[in-house]
Every structure is written in C-alpha cells, then in structure tokens.
Structure 1
C-alpha cells in the first residue's frame, strides 16, 4: 500500500511539473507575440503621414519706420511725447527754441531797412554802380530773412504719419543743442504689423515661403492670429544666446491692439511626413552632429 501511494505521488508530481512547464512556455510565447505585435504597431505608427509642426518664438515688429529729424540746428525747448505714445499725422511731437532765430530775423530786417535807405540815397545822387552793389546786398539780406521765417515756421516738430512712437524720449534733453539731421523720434505705422518668427537652425531647411502660421501672443488675451510666411531672411542673427533665421508674416492691425515688441509663440504647419521622421529627426541630427558626422 505504501509503495502504491508513493507511485501515485510521483505521478501526480510529474504531471504538475509538466503542466507548469507547459504554462511557462505558453506565457513566454504569448509575451514574445505581444512584443512582436507591439513593435509592429510602433513601426506602422511611425509610417503614418502627418503634417510637421514647427514651434518657434516670435516678436511683433512694424512694417516700416519713419524717422523724424531736426530740420536745422537749434535748442530743444519741449518734448511732448515719449516712447509708446500713439500719434496721428500732424501731431506736435516737440518744439524747438526760436529765440535765437527771432533775434537773427530782427537783425536782418534792420539790415534790409538800412540797405533800402542807402540804395535810395545812392540813386538820388546818381551813384548807379554803388546802388547796384547795395541792391545785391539787399537781395541777399531778403533771402536770409526768408530762411529765418521758414525756420520759424518749423519750430513745431510734427509726426509725418499715424503710428506709435518707438523711440525718442527727449524729456531729459530739453535745452540741449540739436544738430542738423539729428534723429529725434522713430515712428512706426500701426495699421499693419509684422510677426518676426525666430526659426532655429535645425528647422530652417523645412520652412518655406507660403507656409501657414498661427501665433499666440502673451499680451493678446489668448487670441490666435493666422497668416503665411512672406519672407525668410537668408542670414542668421543672434538672439537670446542662439542663432536664428528671422521669417516674417504680415498681420492686420486695424484695431491697433498690436504693439512693437510684443512676444509670443509661433506654430508653422509644414509638409506631410512620416510620424517617425517627425519625432526622431532632431535627435538623429543632434547625434550625428555630436559624433562629427
């Protein structure tokens, strides 16, 4: 009886071991299949075509700039605007000191009166040659008077266009002597603006003119603006410790909510490419660059 019981136990143990080995083989086979199926799904997903999305920083800039310069040498009497002020065409931006001009005008007017009396006396005495010379001096003095009168009419420095003052805070410069042609203000029209996109070097080869762009500005109340790339500068510039290629899109600004210097993020929609290429393009290029390929 004891021998039979031992044989039964060994038989049962053998069957349990076989069952355990069979289950282990099935599990290993199932895991392998799952891994294979998962890898195949990843490879297939990497072949799915999707539009490449390129993210970049952006900054609002004016389409054009107008520089307002001193029309002649004079002292600054008063500055009426500062950077950031919105102005209209014809608004007075600053005033020049006209005291020196008025003194010169009074002096030349006195010279004209004296020259006119002198010429009359010479003509009365039949001194024709002397009268002609005095007439030339009189004409020169009259031209000088016209010059001073014209400059007195230009003492008010006015804005040539509607726009916003970008630079030209001259409050601390009142009384300072200005030279001819010295830039006083920089004014940018605000009806249209440019969003300057900062395209990084790894992305520049995939950015083309006409690509659709969406921008979100930090100071634009969450509004998303759309446009297309109109221009890509061929040379990189250094910004925030890196070299970028500026690209531009034009934006309507009839509401005048956009101001130069606003910053945000840009989102360019590129060509359709495999998802795997989109995900691993930059790491692959960085790896090749690190190994000196």
Structure 2
C-alpha cells in the first residue's frame, strides 16, 4: 500500500540552500517515510531524507514507549546500539516533549521562555554548531520528537517552520506504522491505559458500572458455595497381589518373564538349579534298591526280623526320595493364575544364589482393580470414605475413570520429602480397555461445596498458625 502512495507524490527536488527546497520538506519526508516497509526501515528513511534536505550532520527520531523516550530511528541507517550519545539525544527529546515546544540552540529570538539545558549539553558533548528538536504530536498527545544536528550554521526560522510542518504531517502516519507492529498484548495494554485515563462522562460512567459489576462478582465468588476438588497422584494396582518366593536355597538357572509380561496359569516363570537334589535322589534310589534286596534275601532265608528291618528302611528311603522329588518339582516357579507380572526383574541375577523365602515375583490377576491415591498429610483430613473422585491416567488421557473412596490407610510414607497417606479407591463400573497394574496418573477427589472466601481464609489461617507455631 505504501508504494502507490509514494508514487503519487511529486518527485523530490535536489536539496539546495534556497527557501523553495525547504518549503517542500514535508513532501520529501512523506516520500522517504512511505518508500520503505516496516517501522524501523521507514523511520530510518525519514531521518535520512531530512538529513539530506536540511544539510544536517544527523537526524534522530524518538518515540514514547512506556512513558520513556527511546531513539527508534537514525539517519543513514546507523545502528541503534546502547551508547551514551543516544542517552543524551533521548534526554534532549524528553526536554522538548515535556514542554511541548520546539527547542532550537542557538536560540531564534521569538520572545518565548524555553528550557534548553539538555539541548546545550548535547551540543557541547557532540561538538555541533546547532541542535533543533521538534515534538511529534497528534490530537494533543505528544508521541515523540525529531532532533536535528548541524556542524555548520544555525537553523533559520524557515527551517524551524518547515520542520514543524513535517512533524504535523508525519506524526499520524508514524503512529499508524507503530501501532501496526504492536503485539496483541501491547495493544490491549495501550487500550486499557487510554480507557483508564479518559475523563469524559460516558467513560467515567462505564468505569463505575464495571467496578460495581466486578465487586458484585467478587462478592458472589467469595460468598456462594462452589464445588471444588483436591489433587493427588495415583497408581493402578490389582485387587489381589501374590508374591512368589524361592522355595529353597538354590541358584537361579533360567528366567522366562520380566515385569509387565502377561502370564498363563501353570506357566513356568523361572527355573532354579536342581543338581544337588538330583544327586540326592539317585542316592536315595540306590538305598531303596539296597533295602529291597536285603528284604528279599532275609525273607528267602526265613529271617523275619531282618526282613522287617529291611522293609522299614526301604520305606524310609522311599519317603525321603518322595520328599526330594517334591523339592525338585518346586524348583520350577509357575504362575498360580492368569495375570501379569508387576514386580521382579531378575535378569541381572542369573546364576546368583537365592535364599529360601527370597521374593522372586509379584503377580496380579487381570480381574479386579484398585487405585491407590497418595494424599498430602495437610489435606488428609478432607478425605472421607464414600467420596467420589475422577482419575486420568498418563497412558489413557482421553478416558477418565470414576472412582469411589473406600478407606484411608493409617500409615504415612515419605514421597519427595513430604508425608503422604495412601487412600484406597475402587473404580465405578468397568474400567476401560488397556488397564493394567502399574499405570500412573492424577486423581481429583471431589470435596463438599464451599465459598471461595471461606476456603481461602481457612487455608491462610492454617498456614499462619503453622508458621507462628514453628517460628515462635
């Protein structure tokens, strides 16, 4: 859109010392401003055009941002880096904007009283011959300022009139360009500040109505009971869990499952070493054969007492052999039911010795579930059996599950440096497909409706009471 506007303006004449070139300065400023796209490029082009037209050493453009003046454009594409010189330029612009007057040093005799301390300080620091600062304003609001510096000669009254005309011409367009590049947050802030600062009767009435509505809404929030809930981490467990232990002292020879594997009833989960038991079984078999032979020999010879003793010893050897065979059968760790392995990773213990009663696996059937909620000790008094809750699992975020609190365990444990109680809850209805022990998520326990004011006041009182008790 800027290119057609720029092309519609007459071409810029070459700069010269005559008054005609200066009087057409507004047209040249507009051409420079509309020639470029974007806020930064347009301000730099405007400053460059004014520098060439007025024969200045440098022209700078300042803009009011958050009640401060920032240099946003320099002639000849100079970089806007943080520098003490730019600080002096901004102070000189602020001086002119604060008075709402054009400041020129050396002064042009017009009879008006003007404060030019920052202008003179800048002129002395930069070593220039003259400084001219013209505020940019629209509808009585000062938006920024243009500052010009010359190495030789003063600014004439015609120069000042021409720059003031430029300021009136480009101020609205500069404002549009600046606002077009503001973010939505900055635009909202500007609109809010303007609405608050407005002093017309209609705006005051709207402010009063808005304040009254906000007070009514706040009172309703503080006084009307509202439903609320408390949050707790949760994990899924089987309603029944069974631990499988080592039946005897042995070595772990084979491992067939790991945590998370589904199992079938009587499936072999692990195999313990049985070499010692096999050797004992062969020894007992030899004893049985020896005692049977002794019985037959004594019975043949008619030695009844010797035959009875041999028969008793053979029976004892058979009993010992049966016990050894039973122990050998128990070296095969099998699943007691269809389910899933939820604990017991023995992959790094193959060949390691096991003691009798060492826990090998924890298994759970795939029927019957419970959910364990970990509630902070500061909130445990709010939980009661029978309360409803909702669970959202990390693995199933699109399938919330309704829960019912069953009981609160009386034992607390430390989790992440805080004491937490385990609350047992059961799913209401059939859980969704994909449930399995070990899944974790977040649960929200529904609490009785309370006004926000009462709830916040209670929590603040509890925090103050605890702090005062701990510190004093």
1:230 match: secondary structure: strand
Question: In the alignment, is residue 127 of structure 1 matched against residue 303 of structure 2?
Answer: yes
The worse-fitting range, judged by mean Cα deviation, of 176-185 and 109-118 is 176-185
Kept in 1, the 8 Å contact 2:342–2:438? The answer is no
1:220 match: secondary structure: coil
State how 1:1-293 maps to structure 2 within 5 Å: 38-39=214-215, 41-251=217-427, 257-292=434-469
- TM-score normalized by structure 2? 0.51
Rate the CA distance shift 1:170–1:55 in 2: closer, same or farther, 3 A. closer
Rate the CA distance shift 1:110–1:253 in 2: closer, same or farther, 3 A. farther
**Following the alignment from structure 1 to structure 2, what is the Cα–Cα distance between the partners of residues 254 and 33?**
51
2:277 match: secondary structure: helix
Shift of 1:238: 1.4
1:234 match: secondary structure: strand
Shift of 1:206: 1.8
**Following the alignment from structure 1 to structure 2, what is the Cα–Cα distance between the partners of residues 41 and 150?**
77
Shift of 1:33: 9.2
**Following the alignment from structure 1 to structure 2, what is the Cα–Cα distance between the partners of residues 30 and 183?**
73
Kept in 2, the 8 Å contact 1:215–1:265? The answer is yes
Shift of 1:242: 0.7
**Following the alignment from structure 2 to structure 1, what is the Cα–Cα distance between the partners of residues 321 and 367?**
41
Kept in 2, the 8 Å contact 1:191–1:256? The answer is no
1:185 match: secondary structure: strand
Rate the CA distance shift 1:93–1:241 in 2: closer, same or farther, 3 A. same
Rate the CA distance shift 1:30–1:85 in 2: closer, same or farther, 3 A. closer
Shift of 1:177: 3.4
1:5: which partner in 2? none
2:247 match: secondary structure: coil
Rate the CA distance shift 1:31–1:154 in 2: closer, same or farther, 3 A. closer
**Following the alignment from structure 2 to structure 1, what is the Cα–Cα distance between the partners of residues 412 and 424?**
13
1:4: which partner in 2? none
1:230-249, CA deviations, whole angstroms, 9 ceiling, x for partnerless residues?
A: 11123332111111222121
1:291 match: secondary structure: helix
**Following the alignment from structure 1 to structure 2, what is the Cα–Cα distance between the partners of residues 137 and 230?**
59
**Following the alignment from structure 2 to structure 1, what is the Cα–Cα distance between the partners of residues 274 and 395?**
43
Rate the CA distance shift 1:33–1:70 in 2: closer, same or farther, 3 A. closer
Q: Give ranges in structure 1 of 5+ residues lacking alignment.
A: 1-22
Rate the CA distance shift 1:114–1:271 in 2: closer, same or farther, 3 A. same
The worse-fitting range, judged by mean Cα deviation, of 87-96 and 269-278 is 269-278
1:120-172, CA deviations, whole angstroms, 9 ceiling, x for partnerless residues?
A: 22223333222222222111111112222323333421111222212222233
Task: Pick the structure with greater CA Rg.
Answer: 2
The worse-fitting range, judged by mean Cα deviation, of 268-277 and 69-78 is 69-78
RMSD: 3.1
1:233 match: secondary structure: strand
Rate the CA distance shift 1:116–1:191 in 2: closer, same or farther, 3 A. same
Shift of 1:34: 7.6
Rate the CA distance shift 1:31–1:288 in 2: closer, same or farther, 3 A. farther
1:143 match: secondary structure: helix
Kept in 2, the 8 Å contact 1:61–1:195? The answer is yes
Shift of 1:36: 7.0
Q: Give ranges in structure 2 of 5+ residues lacking alignment.
A: 1-198
* Matched residue count: 271
Rate the CA distance shift 1:163–1:133 in 2: closer, same or farther, 3 A. same
Higher RCO structure (Cα 8 Å, ≥6 apart): 1
Kept in 1, the 8 Å contact 2:339–2:363? The answer is yes
Rate the CA distance shift 1:126–1:200 in 2: closer, same or farther, 3 A. same
